[in-house]
Chains A and B, each alone.
Chain A
């Protein structure tokens, strides 16, 4: 990947951020998962640079963001950075920027490009049987599997690289779907709370899934609050993360949000066991294996809940959302396949 690194060197950016790009000393020692990305990421093109400059220094944004867009990676990082304001924000950005009207205009333009692309690629045929269609989409995920590779062949360095990439989502695991909750009613709403309650530790702070992952990272010697985790993430990871935020933040896309949840859970249980076995095979810390072992059992439950108790009643009550439910599921599978293809190709080179 020629993803990042050199771009900003030709564009000196006198900003307030720490010159090293790492966290100031004062932020060290925060509890795991408290803040995963404290400083804005490195730009990957003209648009992401303009967005980050606007966030940090209030530099004016381009009138037409798509005119300065260099490539999809530039778009995805710009969009990821704007979305992050809704989760944890950045230490070098005023929290009020989350609702900055200029930024929201740019976000809308970028979202329209991304959503149109996802719809063109992943729209599914109509069906009366959403439950079967969701299981079929999850089982259609028959491409090369990262979990298979981790279980049997991956090197320690490859697994650590993958864990750093997974951190972009796992450190905010289940958060994007939580946006969808107030947009539901009745049975789907109650079942989503049931599922999310388990994700967030069922009342036990030591069982919150995103914190289990943060502890696993720390045991592997990876700082969960390092900006590098995002700076290293390939565009495929940003696309996965942005799809979740896009679906989660728009009430209009509640069907896609829940379809994505269903496919994510339905493609997690068996791969999580493979991940745990690979982590144990390589002698990596048990804390990280434990994160995956937790998901073997949890996601075997969640997939049934998500498909039968959340998506099915949602579509029963709002039949016009069936297409978006299947779209969200297909996007989940397609974007994971993209990452697997990219990484397995890189690793086989």
Chain B
């Protein structure tokens, strides 16, 4: 039996929602502009409809389920 808990994920793909990033990163958007994370955990938009891109603003919830990210 393995000892200790499994390691914590640093990147979490949330079904239907954003990608969580733990720690400090610079996310480059589609226009090549870099955006530095400012929080212990950040959420990167995956539905491409966020008004605060590249960060998630919850807009995916307003989409019908079939249009949300897998």
Interface residues of A (CB under 8 A from B): 135, 139, 186-187, 190, 194-195, 197-198, 202, 269-270, 273, 296-301, 303-305, 308-309
Could you give 19 example pairs across A and B, Cβ below 8 Å?
A: A190-B8, A194-B40, A195-B41, A198-B41, A202-B39, A273-B51, A273-B57, A296-B52, A297-B52, A298-B39, A300-B18, A300-B43, A300-B55, A300-B58, A301-B42, A303-B58, A304-B20, A305-B20, A308-B12
Residues of B within 8 A of A197 (CB): 40
Other-chain contact of B41, A135, A139, A301 (Cβ < 8 Å): A301
Interface residues of B (CB under 8 A from A): 5, 8, 12, 14, 16-18, 20, 22, 38-43, 51-52, 55-59, 61-62
In the complex the two chains form, what is the Cα distance from A187 to B8 in whole Å? 8
With both chains docked as a complex, state the minimum distance between the C-beta of B11 and any C-beta of chain A, in angstroms: 12
With a 10 A CB-CB cut-off, give which of A273, A296, A299, A301 has the most chain B CB atoms: A301
Known contacts A270-B62, A296-B57: does B18 contact A304 (CB below 8 Å)? yes
- B61 with A270: CB separation less than 8 A: yes
From DSSP, what is the main secondary structure of chain A's interface residues?
helix
Residues of A within 8 A of B12 (CB): 304, 308-309
Residues of A within 8 A of B17 (CB): 304
In the complex the two chains form, what is the Cα distance from A157 to B3 in whole Å? 60
With both chains docked as a complex, state the minimum distance between the C-beta of A202 and any C-beta of chain B, in angstroms: 6
Specify the chain A residue showing the minimal Cβ separation from B39: A198
With both chains docked as a complex, state the minimum distance between the C-beta of B62 and any C-beta of chain A, in angstroms: 7
Known contacts A194-B41, A296-B52: does B5 contact A301 (CB below 8 Å)? no
A-B interface, 3 closest residue pairs, ranked by CB to CB distance from nearest: A269-B58, A300-B56, A301-B43
In the complex the two chains form, what is the Cα distance from A273 to B59 in whole Å? 10
In the complex the two chains form, what is the Cα distance from A138 to B8 in whole Å? 26
- B58 with A270: CB separation less than 8 A: yes
Specify the chain A residue showing the minimal Cβ separation from B55: A297
Other-chain contact of A202, B14, B40, B59, B62 (Cβ < 8 Å): B40
Specify the chain A residue showing the minimal Cβ separation from B50: A300
- A139 with B42: CB separation less than 8 A: no
With both chains docked as a complex, state the minimum distance between the C-beta of A314 and any C-beta of chain B, in angstroms: 14
Other-chain contact of B39, A135, A187, A296, A301 (Cβ < 8 Å): A301
List 15 additional contacts besides A194-B40, A198-B40, A304-B17; criterion CB under 8 Å: A194-B22, A195-B41, A198-B39, A202-B39, A269-B56, A269-B61, A270-B57, A299-B58, A300-B18, A300-B55, A300-B58, A301-B18, A301-B39, A305-B41, A309-B12
Known contacts A198-B39, A198-B40: does B20 contact A296 (CB below 8 Å)? no
Residues of A within 8 A of B59 (CB): 270
Residues of B within 8 A of A194 (CB): 22, 40-41
In the complex the two chains form, what is the Cα distance from A289 to B58 in whole Å? 17
- B57 with A297: CB separation less than 8 A: yes
In the complex the two chains form, what is the Cα distance from A195 to B42 in whole Å? 11
With both chains docked as a complex, state the minimum distance between the C-beta of B41 and any C-beta of chain A, in angstroms: 5
- A301 with B56: CB separation less than 8 A: yes
Known contacts A270-B62, A304-B17, A308-B14: does B40 contact A187 (CB below 8 Å)? no
Specify the chain B residue showing the minimal Cβ separation from A203: B40
In the complex the two chains form, what is the Cα distance from A186 to B38 in whole Å? 25
With both chains docked as a complex, state the minimum distance between the C-beta of A257 and any C-beta of chain B, in angstroms: 20
- A296 with B58: CB separation less than 8 A: yes
